[in-house]
Amino acid sequence: MTDLARSLLLSASRSTFLADRMMRQPFAQRAVKRFMPGETVEAALDAAKPLAEAGIGTVVTQLGENLTSLAEADAVREHYLTVFDLIAQRGLPSWPSVKPTQLGLDLSFDACLANLSVLAARADAAGSLLWIDMEDSSYVDRTLDLFRKLRATHLRVGVCLQSYLRRTPADLAALLPLKPVIRLVKGAYAEPVDRAFPDKRDTDAAYFALGGDLLQAARDGARPVFGTHDIPLIERLAARAGALGVTDGDWEIHMLYGIRMADQRALARAGRTVRTLISYGRSWFPWYMRRLAERPANVWFVVKSLVR
C-alpha cells in the first residue's frame, strides 16, 4: 500500500493538469504551509531567524525547474545574487541551493556552468557555500560534470547524491579524491528499477554504506552531510562517526522545514551541526508531491491538519 501511495504521489508530481488546479485551491495552499513558510525569499529568511537563534543553520532554495529560455536562467542567477545580499544583510548562517535546470542546463551546458560560476564566486567572496541540488537520474552525469568543473576553481560548493540510485557508490568513489562537500539523500523522483532500488530497505542499506564511506573520507578532508529525517539512521551514522574519530563539527545533518522540528532542535542542543532546508516560490506543487511521496504517512498528517 505504501509503495502504491508513493507511486501515485510521484505521478501527481509530474501532472501539469493537477498543478494548475491544485495550486489555486485554498486547502492545498494551507496544507503546503507545513513545509514552506511562504512564496518569497523574505519569508524563508524570516523563518531562518528563529532557527539561527536556536543554533540551527539553514539552506534556502527557490522552487522551479526546467526553464524554457536562457533569459529565465539569467533572471534566476540574478535572484540568487540578491539572496546572497539579503543573507549578508540579515547576518544569517544560511546558504543558497540551486537546481542546474533553474540555471539553463536543459538549454546549454556552458550557459549553466557560467551562471553557476558567478554564484560560486559570490559564495567564495561571502564565505558562504553554494549547494548544487540533484534532480532525476537523467541529469546525474551533467550535474556531476558541472560540480567537477566548478571545484577546479571554487572550493565553497557542494553537491547532492541520492542513495536509491544504483550508480551512486561509483559516483561517490569518483568524487572522493576532490575532498568534496556532499549531501547524501535517499531520493524523491520516480525512477525505473534498473536505475533505482524499488525497496526502501535497499535504499536505507545503501544510505548507511555510503554514509560510512563519507565519514571515512571526512578524515581526509571531505565533508559529509546527511539529508534525512530517519532518526535511527542518524544515530547509527553518529556512532559510526564516533568509532572513526570524526567529530560532530566535521559532519552535518540536514532536514526539511516543517519536518521533525523538535528533533532538529534536540540534535542541535546535543552538539550536532544541523541545517534546515527552507524552500520558497510559486512552483511548489511538484516539490510538495515529492515530499509527501518520501513518506506517504504525511498525507494523513495533512488531512488531519485540514480538518483541524
Q: Distance between CA 50 and CA 59 in Å, rounded?
A: 14
Q: Is residue 6 part of a domain?
A: no
Beta carbons of 144 and 110 less than 8 angstroms apart: no
Residue type, 278: I
Which of these, 145, 140, 130, 248, lies nearest to 185 by C-alpha position? 140
Q: Residues of the chain with pLDDT > 90: what percent?
A: 75
Q: Is residue 262 part of a domain?
A: yes
Compute the average pLDDT of residues 147-176.
98
Q: Is residue 153 part of a domain?
A: yes
Q: Is residue 20 part of a domain?
A: no
**Per DSSP, what are the bridge partners of residue 281?**
none
Q: Is residue 32 part of a domain?
A: no
Instruction: Name 218's Cβ contacts closer than 8 Å, sequence gap at least 6.
Output: 224, 241, 244, 246, 250, 251
CATH of the domain at 275: 3.20.20.220
- Concerning whether 133 is annotated as a catalytic residue, the answer is yes
Catalytic position from the list 6, 77, 122, 133: 133
Reported confidence tier of residue 304, pLDDT bands at 50, 70, 90: very low
Q: Is residue 201 part of a domain?
A: yes
Q: Distance between CA 274 and CA 282 in Å, rounded?
A: 26
Q: Distance between CA 230 and CA 77 in Å, rounded?
A: 33
Q: What is the pLDDT of residue 281?
A: 83
**Per DSSP, what are the bridge partners of residue 253?**
226, 274
Instruction: Specify the residue for cell string 485551491.
Output: 25
How, if at all, do strands 252-256 and 181-185 pair? unpaired
- Concerning whether 183 is annotated as a catalytic residue, the answer is yes
Compute the average pLDDT of residues 23-30.
52
Neighbours of 282 (CB within 10 A): 11
Q: What is the pLDDT of residue 211?
A: 98
Distance from chain centroid for Cα 59: 8
Q: Is residue 255 part of a domain?
A: yes
In a 13 Å sphere around the CA of 30, the CA atoms on its Cβ side amount to: 11
Neighbours of 216 (CB within 10 A): 16
- Nine cell digits for residue 295: 513518506
41 φ, ψ (degrees, to nearest 5): -65, -30
Q: What is the pTM assigned to this prediction? A: 0.85
Catalytic position from the list 183, 223, 272, 291: 183
Domain count, the chain: 1
Q: Distance between CA 286 and CA 185 in Å, rounded?
A: 18
Ramachandran category for residue 241: left, alpha or beta (phi over 0 → left; psi -120 to 50 → alpha): alpha
pLDDT tens digits along 205-257: 999 999 999 999 999 999 999 999 999 999 999 999 999 999 999 999 999 99
Q: Distance between CA 3 and CA 67 in Å, rounded?
A: 30
Compute the average pLDDT of residues 168-186.
98
Give kind and range of the element (H or E) at residue 76: helix 70-90
Which residues constitute the domain of residue 148?
A: 37-283
Residue type, 203: T
Q: Is residue 179 part of a domain?
A: yes
Reported confidence tier of residue 37, pLDDT bands at 50, 70, 90: confident
